[in-house]
C-alpha cells in the first residue's frame, strides 16, 4: 500500500502516475532521517506540473 504525502489518499499499488522520492537531507536538520515521500497522480501534477511517465519497467 502506498500513501500520498500530500493529500493522504492511499492506493494498493503505486501504479501509473505515482511518484516516490527519497528525501535524503534537510539542510537545517542535522539529525534528519531520510524517508520516502510519495505523490499520487493528481498531486504529482499539482506539485510538479507534469504527468509522470510510467515506462520504468
Ligand atoms: Zn495526493
Distance in Å, CA 42 to ligand 1 centroid: 6
Distance in Å, CA 26 to ligand 1 centroid: 22
Distance in Å, CA 34 to ligand 1 centroid: 20
Distance in Å, CA 25 to ligand 1 centroid: 22
Q: If DSSP codes are grouped into helix, strand and coil, which group holds residue 46?
A: helix
* The overall pTM is greater than 0.85: no
Confidence (pLDDT) at 44? 87
Q: Give which of 23, 22, 16 is closest to 56, Cα–Cα.
A: 16
DSSP state of 48: H
Distance between CA atoms of residues 5 and 20, nearest Å: 9
Higher pLDDT, 16 or 5: 5
Distance in Å, CA 1 to ligand 1 centroid: 14
Beta-bridge mates of residue 19: 39
Residue with cell 498531486: 43
Task: Convert the pLDDT of each residue in 21-46 to its tens digit.
Answer: 888 877 788 888 998 899 998 898 88
DSSP state of 49: S
> What's the pLDDT band for 57 if we cut at 50, 70, 90?
very low
Amino acid at each position: 500500500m502506498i500513501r500520498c504525502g500530500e493529500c493522504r489518499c492511499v492506493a494498493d499499488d503505486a501504479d501509473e502516475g505515482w511518484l516516490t522520492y527519497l528525501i535524503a537531507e534537510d539542510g537545517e536538520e542535522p539529525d534528519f532521517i531520510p524517508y520516502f515521500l510519495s505523490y499520487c497522480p493528481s498531486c504529482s501534477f499539482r506539485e510538479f506540473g507534469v504527468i509522470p511517465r510510467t515506462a520504468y519497467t
